[in-house]
Structure 1
């Protein structure tokens, strides 16, 4: 979807000078926009009572961005040792971190318990015995199976690799209690980039129904439910925005009904990543080549290694040409990178204003799962990240990768195994 008018007004006048100063390509994020979205999220859930957002670190794992989240009072949703380290470096400790990994290794359990621990969210009943020391507070990721549908990104819950099955849930909490757990939470994550508020409301309703059932069966209370993330953003111009205010109101009503029936109210957590930062980032790239064969191609100096969503999912990202408005002379073009893959395309037959070599293109809504999903196929290097600060200054928050970075893992002490070696 086209950028918010506020971000465009702040950013576009700066782009020619920024491209000269920093070079292209680069991702640039909008501090003011991120803070506004955070404030709106907190306001939407102000009536719930105990509410907290756990920012999904995987969406934009940059220390400067995580510092903003910490300043807003948010926790962090982590799923790897690297993400745990980033969250702790941002100041998070203990209950500030929810560790939701899957196929968890022994090393990850050790890391989760260090530096004050975290909220441990187990993905499978088999992992209970593998936790070195069961914490007092434990959570399970719930997979409702055929009772719910997912969407194209996460898929059908029955086929998903995530979560504890419904028929395993009581045994999971029993086993955790036998190992010493005394406080409990329940989490789920059923869809990604979901813009229908009703779907997420039904997820909240489902979680409350499930904890009421487990409470009756096992005589336990739940500290919290975590509805997961997955709140969508309007990537395409015709898409509607997610109604977060309605989600807050309806969640409040559901929690109040639960409290009347059960005599207590759990805290409500969520772990939005894309919703918090997605619309507040863009990838700025420069046109460097034209090619006219069976189609018209615009070659740019970024490639799929900087933004893989279009190639991986066929995802739409809106594109603007700096200084050129859409009009009657728009031309349908493929906007392509230089990777040796035919799906290295940011747009396919997209009507855009006539583009000359040297023009700057702004690929929008890259503030989540953009740089984070980068890779190094063909030896392509991931670009720099910038932050447009609230004070109007622009800060480099990650330098571009270099060939020295890329080849660093080829520098090592020789090691050869041979039969009989100990």
Structure 2
């Protein structure tokens, strides 16, 4: 089974004639259609809102597309807050979910009217001293132990640095009520990149039951429950995409079974997805520079781990299409490598691909989230451009490539050498 790029070889040749490789390319049509499916899946909930995880793809043009589709933003730092503000997001269109948070970040989030999500009990007093307690506040829950569904163990929340215990949640709510909070939310993130349709429904059931307990024990007015992220995408070609409509129906079933009988049928459902919203709708486009034949066969490209860190950092699989050779037999075994002085700078290891020639264009799939965003400048490598393939087939440069001047901009050469 072969993943197909959202762009043809002919289109890509025209694009690369205008924008030198490597660059990240995004599919506007796919992004919009996916956002609409997401909203449809939770349309049964009057207050539903998807808060796109800015950390996944911090580009203002992408963020504006999602804003047009009704999404808010999930921020985790002051710069992400600034970027969101510049894109026109304000107030409760912004969730601020962070950890080990500087006081200045809390002050900015409070000033912007964002919904602040507290990661730890001690942050109640910290936020109060730094900025004061807003009327609407959220707390992050960690149930500990292992998180299991019918498909088995999915993750180990007890090993996670995020969130509070149940007892800490109760104490936090009581302290926040004393400090003037009026409306409350619950947030939790228990597993990453899940590709099963029962993750969100099972998480929802846990949080819905938690909401009823917290209301009964503290008297807090719980207005929303944020299921956070964790819904994944299939990176390998044989993987099956998550059916978000079925996921939404599963959450509704838990909502109707737990919250509605408890008189909490007006609670809003929030999500904070990044990978699911953007991952399949971006790719890294790179050109073959060299081939090397020693103890293995290597294909050297003009991209590197500085453009896409996931394979080097996690050993993650990203599918590769050799453009124009989609129907040729995958009968050559290659390591596809970048030019960093690190032996783990490999996009693929022992990958069966069609015969590759110098000058071929490669598409590395599923880089729309946590692709460009995790880039860095090791070896003096410069971060690539980002290009949007618009719905009408035209392209827009939505971030230019870095230049050496950008790399040197933070040095003060006059003081260093003057």
TM interval, shorter chain, is over 0.9
> Which residue matches 2:9?
12
Q: Which runs of 5 or more residues in structure 2 are unaligned?
A: none
How does 1:271-286 map onto structure 2 within 5 Å? 271-286=272-287
Q: Which residue of 1 aligns with 2:255?
A: 255
Aligned to 1:156: 156
SS at match of 1:297: strand
- Provide the secondary structure at the position in 1 that maps to 2:382: coil
Describe the SS at the equivalent of 1:46. Answer: coil
Give the Cα–Cα distance (whole angstroms) in 2 for the partners of residues 129 and 318 of structure 1: 47
Equivalences, count: 409
Three-state SS of the structure 1 residue aligned to 2:405 is: helix
| 1:115-126 map, 5 Å | 115=112, 117-126=113-122
Cα distance in 1 for partners of 2:285, 2:327 equals 18
Contact preservation (8 Å) 1:145, 1:166: no
Provide the residue aligned with 1:397 in structure 2.
Answer: 398
Query: How large is the Cα RMSD of the aligned pairs?
Result: 1.8
Task: Work out whether 1:134 is the aligned partner of 2:133.
Answer: yes
Query: Which string of whole-angstrom CA distances, capped at 9 and with x for unpartnered residues, describes residues 29-56 of structure 1?
Result: 0000000001111111112332110000
Bigger drift between 402-411 and 208-217 goes to 402-411
Give per-residue Cα distances to partners, 1:276-328, cap 9 Å, x unaligned. 11000110000000111110000000000000001111111110111112544
Residues 1:146 and 2:145 are matched in the alignment: yes
Q: Give CA-to-partner distance per residue, 1:153-196, whole Å, 9 cap, x none.
A: x9521111111122211001111111111110000011111111
Q: For residue 206 of structure 1, what is the aligned residue in structure 2?
A: 206
How far off is 1:145 after superposition? 0.5
1:418 counterpart residue number: none
Runs of 4+ in 1 over 3 A off after TM superposition: 1-5, 326-329, 412-415
**Which whole-Å CA distance do the structure 2 matches of 1:162 and 1:275 have between them?**
21
Question: Are 1:189 and 2:186 matched, yes or no?
Answer: no
Deviation digits for residues 219-243 of structure 1 (CA, Å, limit 9, x no counterpart): 2221000001111111101111112
Q: Is the 8 A contact 1:2 1:364 kept in 2?
A: no
Give the match's secondary structure for 1:291: strand
Residues in 2 aligned to 1:35 and 1:4: alpha-carbon distance in whole angstroms: 19
Look up the match of 2:294. 293
* Paired position in structure 2 for 1:23: 20
Are residues 1:218 and 2:188 paired?
A: no
In the alignment, which of 97, 101, 110 is matched to residue 100 of structure 1? 97
Q: Residue 72 in 1 paired to residue 101 in 2?
A: no
**CA separation of 1:338 and 1:211: change in aligned 2, threshold 3 A:** same
Q: Contact conserved, 1:3 with 1:279, CA < 8 A, in 2?
A: no
Matched, 1:356 2:364: no
List per-residue Cα deviations over 1:27-85 (Å, max 9, x = no partner). 00000000000111111111233211000001100000000011011100000111111
* Counterpart in the other structure of 1:56: 53
Once the two structures are superposed, residues 326-366 of structure 1 have per-residue CA deviations (whole angstroms, 9 ceiling, x without a partner) of: 54462000000000111100000111111111110100110
Q: Give the 3 Å change call, closer, same or farther, for CA 22–147 of structure 1 in structure 2.
A: closer
Change in CA separation of 1:12 and 1:46 when aligned onto 2, cut-off 3 Å? farther
TM-score computed with the length of structure 2 as normaliser = 0.94
Is residue 111 from structure 1 mapped to residue 108 from structure 2 by the alignment? yes
Q: Is contact 1:119–1:138 with CA below 8 Å preserved after alignment?
A: yes
SS of the equivalent of 1:225 reads strand
Take 1:329 and 1:209, find their aligned partners in 2: how far apart are those partners? 51
Who is 1:244 aligned against?
244
Q: Report how far residue 22 of structure 1 moved.
A: 0.9
* TM-score, scaled to structure 1: 0.93
List gaps (5 residues or longer) in structure 1.
416-422
C-alpha separation between the residues in 1 aligned to 2:70 and 2:2? 29
- Distance (Å, rounded) in 1 between the aligned partners of 2:148 and 2:370: 23
User: Which range moved further: 390-399 or 192-201?
Assistant: 192-201
Secondary structure in 2 aligned to 1:121? Answer: strand
- Checking the alignment, whether the CA contact within 8 Å between 1:29 and 1:282 is kept in structure 2 is yes
Deviations 1:244-285 (A, max 9, x none): 111111211222233432112210000111111100011000
CA distance in 2, matches of 1:260, 1:306: 47
Would the aligned equivalents of 1:48 and 1:255 in 2 still touch at CA under 8 Å? Answer: no
SS of residue paired to 1:289: strand
1:145 aligned counterpart, secondary structure: coil
Distance (Å, rounded) in 2 between the aligned partners of 1:388 and 1:95? 30
